[in-house]
Amino acid sequence: MAGVVVIGAGQAGASLVAKLRNDGYAGAITLIGNEAVPPYQRPPLSKKYLLGEMALERLYLRPESYYAEAGIDLRLGSHVTGIDRAAHEIVIGDERLEYEHLVLATGSLPRRLPAAIGGDLGGVHVVRTLTDVDAMAPGFVAGARVLIVGGGYIGLEAAAVAAARGMQVVLVEMAERILQRVAAQETSDYFRALHARYGVDIREGVGLERLLGDAQVRGARLSDGTEMDVDMVIVGVGIVPDTRLAEAAGLAIDNGIAVDGQGRTSDPAIWAVGDCASFPHQAGRLRLESVPNAIDMAECVAGNILGKAQDYVPKPWFWSDQYDVKLQIAGLSAGYDRIVTRDGGEAVSFWYYCGDRLLAVDAMNDPRAYMVGKRLIDAGKTADPMIVADAGADLKPLLQR
């Protein structure tokens, strides 16, 4: 009965079990998740679902009936409390479950504000799970004053949805500019201007000193001394990989659960995939927090469990929806030394280079720039900056070079 046991019924866990079954794995498969609902997509949580434009069932990655039909034992609302590596068993409260292969797909945990500055007051929310977003819904109403802490993609998406809802939105970002950790100045400038058009008050270089209120948040004091009244706070200050089980089991940790090129942890019977795992990349290690990574890595590891012995080669891409702007990102921009702008009016893209090498593209309402950029980056090719910068020039011929 041992078979494959997967801890974490999120994007990566669900992708892995489906791929295993589709590709002919005949043994037992158990998928264990501590949330109450079947595996679902998280991206709409800060987009259409938060806006109330997407029904719950449409979030599900597959209909609930799929798992039983595919012979996958889906256990919801079950929190795994330990791994007994010597016995090849996991522990769920009083129960033990044997495994031949164990996969850790435990995802990430959102960073929270410390209780000492009011992080535990009512009305202070994070956006990670369906439960988080459902808890936010009653206060997410026109006219309410919301403070968003953190100007990364989650914070900006929440700001866009709140503004669309008719809320009064202030967003504080402690760093010099929004998106500083993940994007170029040009992309920050683009999104700052976009939010300003919708009345979002973005304050950069300003942190939160503390939240005010007794049981319920009523106000906030910012690092520049400003005090403001607020009805709700949304915290988007990043996530940390959920390595708790792996650490307790003595597995190697290095910016997430450290795996080898094939996705195996320091214990050959245990694999890790998705947000929680860091894998070898260039001279160091990389951990990605995205749906495409969760799916691709999970499918690669499913193949390895079936004996393929293939290395995981990430092809990073990401997206963000804010108002009527669809941002698509190809590649990884770290290490860029210049940006080439392609400005076609509605469609704008920023191309990141290091020397002559194309590293990444941020494309706003420009699916063609994204598609061409992605194909070039995936193939290890570059793009002539003169052609890129000329918004009238066709990009497709770049693919033929």
Per CB under 6 A, residues contacting ligand FAD are 7-13, 32-35, 42-43, 45-46, 79-80, 105-108, 127-128, 154, 242, 245, 274-276, 289-292, 294, 318-320
Please, which residue, 109 or 144, has the CB nearer to ligand FAD?
109
Q: Whose Cβ is closer to ligand FAD: residue 319's or residue 323's?
A: 319
User: Which CB sits closer to ligand FAD, 183 or 340?
Assistant: 183
359-to-200, 299, 338, 350, 380 alpha-carbon distances in Å? 31, 25, 10, 11, 9
Sequence-separated (6 or more) residues with CB below 8 Å from residue 221 = 208, 209, 210, 212, 227
User: With respect to ligand FAD, which residue has the nearer C-beta, 60 or 384?
Assistant: 60
In the complex, minimum distance from the CB of residue 393 to ligand FAD, in angstroms, rounded to a whole number: 29
**Residue 345, by phi and psi: left (phi above 0), alpha (psi -120 to 50) or beta?**
left
Report the nearest approach of ligand FAD to the CB of residue 213 (Å). Answer: 25
Contact 249, 102 (CB under 8 A): no
Tokens coding 298: 């999970």
Q: Which is nearer to ligand FAD, 287 or 342 (CB)?
A: 287
Instruction: Name the residue number minimizing CB distance to ligand FAD.
Output: 10
Q: How far is the CB of 215 from ligand FAD (least distance, A)?
A: 26
Least Cβ distance, residue 237 to ligand FAD (angstroms): 13
Residue 42: CB minimum distance to ligand FAD, A = 3
Q: Which amino acid is at 352?
A: Y
How far is Cα 113 from Cα 110, in angstroms, rounded to an integer? 10
> Cα–chain-centroid distance for residue 82?
25
In this complex, which beta carbon is closest to ligand FAD, that of residue 5 or of residue 217? Answer: 5
Left (φ > 0), alpha (ψ -120 to 50) or beta: where does 156 sit?
alpha
Q: How far is the CB of 241 from ligand FAD (least distance, A)?
A: 9
